[in-house]
Amino acid sequence: MKQRLQGVCFLLFGMTSLSLLAHEVKSPIMPVVDAYTGWEIKKPALSEANELPIWQLPNVDRAVESYFSPDSKQLIFYAKSKATDAYHINVASIDGRSVHEINDVGNDACSFFFPDNKRVVFTSTKDNLDMPRGNWSKVGDYPQGAELYTADVDGSNVKRLTDNRQYDAEVSVSPDGEWILFTRETNGMLDLWRVRPDGRDEMQITHSADLQEGGAFYMPDSETIIFRAWSKAEQDKRDHGMDIYTIKHDGTDLKQRTNDGQVNWAPFPAPDNRHFVFAKMIPPYNFEIFMMDLVTSKQTRLTNSNAFDGFPSISPDGKLMSFSSSRSAEKGSRKLTIFLMDISSLDVGAVNEVGVQPQVALQWH
């Protein structure tokens, strides 16, 4: 079952099914007023599972993989179209009052904001509809028509970035806006690549003969990259692991950050340049979100639910975590949607309370 996790850019329907079937008890719900929006919304009771306050993003139904805008006021994600069974890129305010679609052709997957808050980058098959649709979550059948595009945040001024009829996906942008980071599949091998926003200076970052790298994001220094990978030699085995790594974007200084034999995936860095959040599969098939300290390697569990919780991301101001979850789905359903967690008490913002960047962040081992 673990093998199906490898398509980090999609819904993991096969992998989440066991977790969803186990979700037999609904979370207790109580109305509260959200401190960020002033809306009266529904959050899980604080007595549930020792989690920080959590609430569902309003006015968004079946959706996954959400990432914050640079001002922490919007989210970009892909959601199921109301008209078809395709998934398209959407942008929503964090209170859910404003939601609009970026693209409505083909099938979309990962997406990300540029730091100017004016443009976005996303993956889509929109120009390769003649090719087999493929399966975002099945190794060996990734959509080979997946290309990279940029657009204004309102969906206008779309520009195609790649044109090679390969799998180009799992895309993000460096904090300084200088590089677009993505995964490319060539002859069955997944590697990390980077390219300028205008398509110049395309460069392959990883060249491992065995690791299947992907799901990568730049750390706040715009030089270090955090990603997940699994062994190609082991990928056909039923019970193989997945781990988190860091690497410099010139391909040097590769470091393995997890090594517990479990499935560790979907990492996302905190603004403090020291912590990151990620998803871990708790045996047998329970998916939870953890935070890890890059200095001490300490892991802290953030979610505790029988539902699927995954694809975490942290707002640039360090106050919110977004994640995809089935905790609102009916029993047996595979439906994922977007939730937010108030993590302001974890103090993982870009500076500490006295306004000083923690120097210990530079002491990674």
Distance of CA 50 to the CA centre of its chain: 24
**What is the full per-residue pLDDT of the chain (365 aa) written as tens digits?**
444 444 444 434 344 443 433 333 333 333 444 444 454 444 443 334 579 999 999 999 999 999 999 999 999 999 998 888 899 999 999 999 999 999 999 999 999 999 999 999 999 999 999 988 887 777 777 889 999 999 999 999 999 999 998 999 999 999 999 999 999 999 999 999 999 999 999 999 999 999 999 999 999 999 999 999 999 999 888 778 999 999 999 999 999 999 999 999 999 999 999 999 999 999 888 999 999 999 999 999 999 999 999 999 999 999 999 999 999 999 888 899 999 999 999 999 986 434 444 433 333 33
Tally Cβ neighbours within 10 Å of residue 147. 24
Give pLDDT, residue 82: 83
* C-alpha dihedral sign at 224, 292, 264, 321: negative
Say if residues 41 and 35 touch (Cβ distance below 8 Å): no
Give pLDDT, residue 135: 75
DSSP 8-state code for residue 95: T
What is the topology classification, in CATH, of domain 2-346?
A: Neuraminidase (2.120.10)
- Per-residue pLDDT of 56-78, as tens digits, reads 999 999 999 999 999 999 999 99
Tally Cβ neighbours within 10 Å of residue 236. 10
Give pLDDT, residue 290: 97
Give pLDDT, residue 152: 98
Rounding to the nearest 10 degrees, give the CA dihedral for residues 287, 180, 344, 153. -100
Distances (CA, A) of 146 to 109, 127, 169: 9, 9, 7
Distances (CA, A) of 268 to 39, 44, 160: 28, 24, 26
Tally Cβ neighbours within 10 Å of residue 92. 22
Say if residues 60 and 92 touch (Cβ distance below 8 Å): yes
Distance CA 171, CA 218 (A): 11
Greatest alpha-carbon span in the chain:
56
